[in-house]
Amino acid sequence: MKPADSPHPDIRNFSLEELENYFVSIGEKPFRAIQIFEWIYQKSAWGFGTMANLPKELRERLAKDFLCGPNAIAEKKISQEGTTKFLFDLSDREKIESVLIPTQTRTTACISTQAGCKFGCRFCASGIGGWSRNLTCAEIVTQVLHVKEEALKHQKPLTNIVFMGTGEPLDNFDNLFKAIKIINSNKGIGIGARHITISTVGLVPKIKELAKQNLQIELAISLHGYDNESRNLLMPVNRKYPFDDLVAACREHFKQTKRQITFEYILIKDVTCTAKAVQSLKKSFQGIVCKMNLIPYNPVSEFDHKTPSREEMLEFRNQLEGAGIHATIRTPRGRDVAAACGQLRHDSQKSDKADG
Ligand code: SAH
């Protein structure tokens, strides 16, 4: 059975208002909802038994009505530089991954929004096994709770959230935004909107919808191609939402929100990291206030790509800067624990097949 259909729902699927309504419906005071939020999202309670300021009968009733426990951890890997990757086993045996990325200045949780991915980008491990389902709001926030707990064990409070794990966040819009409300609320996890980034494959109508909402959330666009043709080859979604429409939607987004967009651009030898790419990007990005995040391709055995040399990547970055596009090369983290998008889940699916 899918978690969303469960007769015994996860309490983390409920917004504060919904919980208030629930408490009123059982003859309780609405402030119980705030107490529950504090226990779960601020004091890291994984059950009702420890919620000392709730009457015993109410705790027992809640334990009968709702789930509130931790995820089963299928795997936890810590890389040399402290990047920690979790593979969680969900109630229907779907596996999802989340990553804790500590740096000097911030502590980031990279969170999945779907089990698998529909979009099949031809460099990404997430799409290889196809798409299973959307994650529920509870499954999204529970990942954050696990990563936050791990970060606090190392005295590093969680500061940032990036929706760059498996799946397409804007393809699970409603659950994502319900989860973001809990993550952002000062009664919930309390992470500021400007510290939350949604990364999208480029779903143009959803980007437009996002701009209308005028939230303070950061937007990152997985660009990866430098024109229509090159993007078609790497990202099948480009046939539905072509390069020029995407760039136009980004221009519009900036006009409406005044928020700078980050573009993610994968560096693949002789494919995306070329002089032709620089010329084309220069033309398309004229006047766009943005940051280009250059991501060295992390090899996935199903694809035939190669990572450029350090010198080639630096040269590409310098040429982009020369063309007026602010660009930085992202330091790869956690390669020793397969921390690139979808790799751990994909590796576990491969070994399940080999075992069975
Ligand atoms: N669907 C969303 C979020 C998931 S992918 C999106 O497309 O943005 C998040 C990022 O993972 C992508 O932008 C891509 O840069 C990165 N990624 C995926 N596979 C990669 C690989 N093999 N090497 C380097 N980065 C990769």
Q: What percent of the chain has pLDDT over 70?
A: 91
Per annotation, catalytic residue among 20, 68, 94, 97: 97
Are 257 and 294 contacting, i.e. CB atoms less than 8 angstroms apart?
no
Domains and CATH numbers, the chain: 11-65 (1.10.150.530), 72-355 (3.20.20.70)
Q: What is the pTM of this model?
A: 0.94
- Decide whether any atom of ligand 1 lies within 6 Å of the 123 Cβ: yes
Residue 354: which pLDDT band, with cuts at 50, 70 and 90? Answer: low
* pLDDT, tens digit (0-9, with 9 covering 90-100), for 164-200: 999 999 999 999 999 999 999 999 999 999 999 999 9
Residue 335: which pLDDT band, with cuts at 50, 70 and 90? Answer: low
Is 139 known to be catalytic? Answer: no
- Decide whether any atom of ligand 1 lies within 6 Å of the 124 Cβ: yes
- Residue 352 φ/ψ, nearest 5 degrees: -60, -45
Distance in Å, CA 66 to ligand 1 centroid: 35
- Nearest residue (by CA) to ligand 1, atom 3, is 164
Give me the DSSP letters along 51-89.
-TTS-HHHHHHHHHH-B--PPEEEEEEE-TTS-EEEEEE
- Decide whether any atom of ligand 1 lies within 6 Å of the 200 Cβ: yes
Range from 160-169, 193-202, 226-235, 285-294 carrying the lowest mean pLDDT? 285-294
Strands 107-110 and 261-267: unpaired
- Nearest residue (by CA) to ligand 1, atom 19, is 124
- Residue 67 φ/ψ, nearest 5 degrees: -95, 155
* pLDDT, tens digit (0-9, with 9 covering 90-100), for 80-123: 888 999 999 999 999 999 999 999 999 999 999 999 999 999 99
- Decide whether any atom of ligand 1 lies within 6 Å of the 222 Cβ: yes
pLDDT at 1 exceeding the cut of 80: no
- Decide whether any atom of ligand 1 lies within 6 Å of the 164 Cβ: yes
Is 97 known to be catalytic? Answer: yes
